[in-house]
Amino acid sequence: MKDTDIKRLLYTHLLCIFSIILSIFIPSFFLENFSILETHLTWLCICSVFVTAVNLVLYLVVKPNASSKRSSLSYKVARFLKCCIYFLMSCFFFHVIFVLYGAIIFETLQLREIPPVIYIFVFYRVTSIWENSLQITTISSFIGTWLGAFPIPLDWERPWQVWPISCTLGATFGYVAGLVISPLWIYWNRKQLTYKNN
């Protein structure tokens, strides 16, 4: 039971990583002058849309917890509303933190907090190992963002050193790392982990 779950987790994560890689290459066929650095915001949006879509599809396909009680419509609506609220709250929270770290309020109005936040939103509803992997990916993308802030003061004059880019890139790398790490971590620690639901 558990091993199959972990396997499924691994596959879904690999799909997520694949979708991120796709989001780097596919738009360049459709959009003129597309590059990660120059049209950073567009890429960010596309990336988040890809990841969200993949996650939703996977959610529908995999159905991590398909108990009868939870499948009622009102429950689903409530769940969805809850997710929205959490999403907005985390947006606000991250916004505040970014401002405290010195971003100028003006610039922050762009949707740069999306990547770390979207994962919370997408993964929130799952429990068990799914929740565990969610924790890991969130934390690692947060650490990625944190580390991404380091190269900003360097005067290498690289295009990726501009303020949001290095952070969001850091977040994306952190997210990918988290996706890879979490199944492995759960696999190593599967003896210690017990979930109430299972």
Partner 1 sequence: MRLGSGTFAACCVVIQVLGVALFLRGFFPAPIRSSSRTEHQAEPPAPEPSAGDRSNWTKLPPPLFRKVVIMLIDGLRDDFVFGSKGVKFMPYTTYLVEKGASHSFVAEAKLPTVTMPRIKALMTGSLPGFIDVVRNLNSPALVEDNVITQAKAAGKRIIFYGDETWVKLFPKHFVEYDGTTSFFVSDYTEVDDNVTRHLDKVLKRGDWDVLILHYLGLDHIGHVSGPNSPLIGHKLREMDSVLMKIHTSLLSEERETLVPNLLVLCGDHGMSEAGGHGASSMEELNTALILISSAFERKPGDIRRPKHVQQTDLAATLAIGLGLPIPGNSVGSLLFPTVEGRPVREQLRFLHLNAVQLSKLLQENVPSYTKEPGFEQFKMSERLHGNWIRLYLEENNSEVLFNLGAKVRRQYLEALRTLSLSLSRQVAQYDIYSMLVGTVMVLEVLVLLLLSIPQALSNKAELEVPLWSPVFSLLFYLVFLVLSALHVIVCTSAESSCYFCGLSWLTAGGVMALISALLCAVVSALAKVFADGKHLRKNPAHPKARWSELDVLILLGTLGHVLSLGASSFVEEEHQTWYFLVNTLCLALCHELYKNCFLRDDGEPQPCSHVEQGLVSSEPALWDRNIHCNVSEPHRVSKSPTSLDTLRGYEKWMVLASPWVILTCCRLLRSLNQTGVQWAHRPDLGHWLTSSDHKAELSVLAALSLLVIFVLVQRRCSLTSKVAMALGLLGVYCYRAAIGNVLFPWQRDSKDISKGVIEARFVHVFVLGILFTGTKDLLKSQVIAADFTIKTVGLWEIYSGLVLLAALLFRPHNLPVLVLSLLIQTLMTKFIWKPLRHDAAEITIMHYWFCQAFFYFQGNSNNIATVDVSAGFVGLDTYMEVPAAFLTAFATFAGPVLWASHLVSFLSSETRSGSALSHACFCYALTCSFPVSAYIILVTSLRHHLFIWSVFSPKLLYEGMHVLITAAICVFFTAMDQTNTKS
3-state SS track over the chain: CHHHHHHHHHHHHHHHHHHHHHHHHCHHHHCCCCCCCCCHHHHHHHHHHHHHHHHHHHHHHHCCCCCCHHHCHHHHHHHHHHHHHHHHHHHHHHHHHHHHCCCCHHHHCCCCCHHHHHHHHHHCCCCHHHHHHHHHHHHHHHHHHHHHCCCCCCCCCCHHHCHHHHHHHHHHHHHHHHHHHHHHHHHHCCCCCCCCCC
Considering only 106, 153, 188, 191, the residue that binds partner 1 (CB under 8 A) is 153
Site for partner 1 in 99-128 (CB under 8 A): 99-102
Applying CB under 8 A, which of residues 56, 78, 88, 97 lies at the interface with partner 1?
97
Beta carbon nearer to partner 1, 147 or 181: 147
Binding residues with partner 1: total (CB under 8 A): 13
Closer Cβ to partner 1, 11 or 92, answer by number: 92
Q: Torsion-angle region of residue 63: left (phi > 0), alpha (psi -120 to 50) or beta?
A: left
Q: Which residue, 98 or 130, has its beta carbon nearer to partner 1? A: 98
162 sits near partner 1 (criterion: CB under 8 A): no
Residues 75-94 that bind partner 1 (CB under 8 A): none
- What is the maximum alpha-carbon separation in the chain? 58
Q: Is residue 154 at the binding interface for partner 1, with CB under 8 A as the rule?
A: yes
Q: Does 149 bind partner 1 (CB under 8 A)?
A: yes
Q: Which is nearer to partner 1, 61 or 100 (CB)?
A: 100
CB nearer partner 1, residue 14 or residue 162? 162
In the complex, minimum distance from the CB of residue 195 to partner 1, in angstroms, rounded to a whole number: 15
Q: Which residues of the chain form contacts with partner 1 (CB under 8 A)?
A: 97, 99-102, 146, 149-150, 152-156
